[in-house]
Chain A
């Protein structure tokens, strides 16, 4: 099992010299002037975790070529995308933040078709990450876990299970994280994300933050991994200029200790 983090370029020097990290997920391509990039590329297994596009629509050739190029640059063992639909079809409105689709038959068909098309153009397996909903839209036709199971069964893609996303949804639904997690198709999980949560003033409740995972979150991770037999990597999911080296390295150490 690999244990890793996200590549945070402002911590490039520390990451290039680190010894307790197996892999780095890449949220952005390396900047042209990043002097640590050659060492990072040589030292780590790199996972492509960029914004490739939203699979409610087919990715265009430009987006697919970009994905192929980045996956080749990183020699990534798999390519990640999110279950998201964050901008309107005409491009007028854009949330600039991950936002889930309606869990309906129509969106399922769209995501299945477009994920299969993307898969066919990639040289690496595709994995898809769950996205938390802060509120329900009454037009959804099925629970998220059912929608995800049908998606994975129809596409054969891997599941990138974001545990804080499950934890938050459980919190806002008044469920235990373990009970909500049990609904998800865990047999498809390839990679697990772990992160911290903090109180947010606007949401008046917890949300994902670039902080260390709590002991409760690590216990939840240990519980989840007993139910995800195909997991190959656990990633500390924090990517922010405000993230400190201490938080990143201590979080990875604590994740490793909790496995």
Chain B
């Protein structure tokens, strides 16, 4: 094992509680296990503090009337209990932490509170997962000679973690107002609203209103159907499927499968 791989092993031990408890890691004898455990717990609380403050910022704004600050869960027994199984950045851990937050801040202070919690939870969960930290440039390589005609596009597939949210209230109209000064919480129009939440491979979370075309493509993009098959299944014309796939690719919701 070279030094870079050894460093990765230490990083994994700090991020991944089950690995940290494993005989494989403990057998290496690289570090003081007690100190590593303390530092790992410190890191976990820091890691999720940043995410809760960012993704639950609307619940933080509402804390003026609810007096329930989302980040308070980090000092509660539920979070301490999670630490034994937490894997920083993993989707299941993000989901578990987000559930602790929503259970704590849930209330009836605004009629759209339930939708708001689902929205914030979705943002936090979609953000989780491995990400590309640096581009190697291999994707940008260009041939030195005139290329052959392009092959047909590979089948599009939904990127894991992409989420479609069906809401009872039109949240996008009220979210900016929640972060502004107010004396009574702003109201949201009661109007069925569909949003798509996705993440780019570099980790940027994007949210957009989802049209019927987007919802259909999300439903049928399984990595097996070709673009033509997908258009037929979703009931879209060639121009519509191209535009929809372009929009979904831009926000990281869809990628084109290159496997066999």
A and B: bona fide binding partners:
yes
Residues of B within 8 A of A91 (CB): 130-133
Interface check B72, CB cutoff 8 A = no
Residues of B within 8 A of A56 (CB): 4, 7
Interface check A110, CB cutoff 8 A = yes
Residues of A within 8 A of B30 (CB): 137-139
Interface check A4, CB cutoff 8 A = no
Interface check B208, CB cutoff 8 A = no
Complex Cα gap A110–B35 (Å):
27
Name the prevailing secondary structure of the A interface residues: loop
A60 touches B45 (CB 8 A): no
A94 touches B7 (CB 8 A): no
Complex Cα gap A63–B136 (Å):
12
A93 touches B12 (CB 8 A): yes
Q: Mark A137-151, 1 if CB is under 8 A from B, else 0.
A: 111000000000000
B38 touches A107 (CB 8 A): no
A85 touches B133 (CB 8 A): no
Partner-contacting stretch, out of A96-104, A163-171, A182-190, A215-223? A96-104
Interface check B15, CB cutoff 8 A = yes
Complex Cα gap A136–B6 (Å):
13
A89 touches B45 (CB 8 A): no
Shortest C-beta distance, A97 to chain B (Å), equals 6
**For chain B residues 1-49, which have a beta carbon within 8 Å of chain A?**
2-4, 6-8, 10-12, 14-16, 29-32, 35-36, 38-39, 41-43, 45-47
Shortest C-beta distance, A148 to chain B (Å), equals 17
Residues of A within 8 A of B29 (CB): 138
Residues of A within 8 A of B132 (CB): 91
The winner among B3, B10, B36, B42 for most chain A CB atoms within 10 A is B3
Partner-contacting stretch, out of A67-75, A202-210, A226-234, A247-255? A202-210
Interface check A117, CB cutoff 8 A = no
Complex Cα gap A255–B199 (Å):
43
Interface check B137, CB cutoff 8 A = yes
Shortest C-beta distance, A169 to chain B (Å), equals 13
Interface check A86, CB cutoff 8 A = yes
Complex Cα gap A54–B133 (Å):
9
Interface check B126, CB cutoff 8 A = no
Q: How large is the interface on A (under 10, 10 to 19, 20 to 34, 35 or more residues)?
A: 35 or more
Shortest C-beta distance, A249 to chain B (Å), equals 24
Contact among B11, B43, B47 for A88, CB-based, below 8 A: B11
Shortest C-beta distance, A29 to chain B (Å), equals 14
B136 touches A93 (CB 8 A): no
B45 touches A202 (CB 8 A): yes
B15 touches A135 (CB 8 A): no
B3 touches A102 (CB 8 A): yes
Interface check B212, CB cutoff 8 A = no
Residues of B within 8 A of A101 (CB): 7
Shortest C-beta distance, A121 to chain B (Å), equals 14
Q: Name A residues whose Cβ lies closer than 8 Å to a Cβ of B.
A: 53-54, 56-63, 85-97, 99, 101-102, 104, 106-107, 110, 134-139, 200, 202-204, 207, 241
Task: Give 13 A-B pairs besides A102-B10, A139-B6, A202-B45 with Cβ atoms closer than 8 angstroms.
Answer: A60-B135, A62-B135, A91-B133, A93-B11, A93-B12, A95-B11, A99-B14, A101-B7, A106-B4, A135-B31, A135-B39, A136-B32, A203-B42
Question: Which 8 A/B pairs are nearest by Cβ-Cβ distance?
Answer: A135-B35, A202-B42, A106-B3, A202-B41, A93-B15, A88-B8, A60-B134, A60-B135
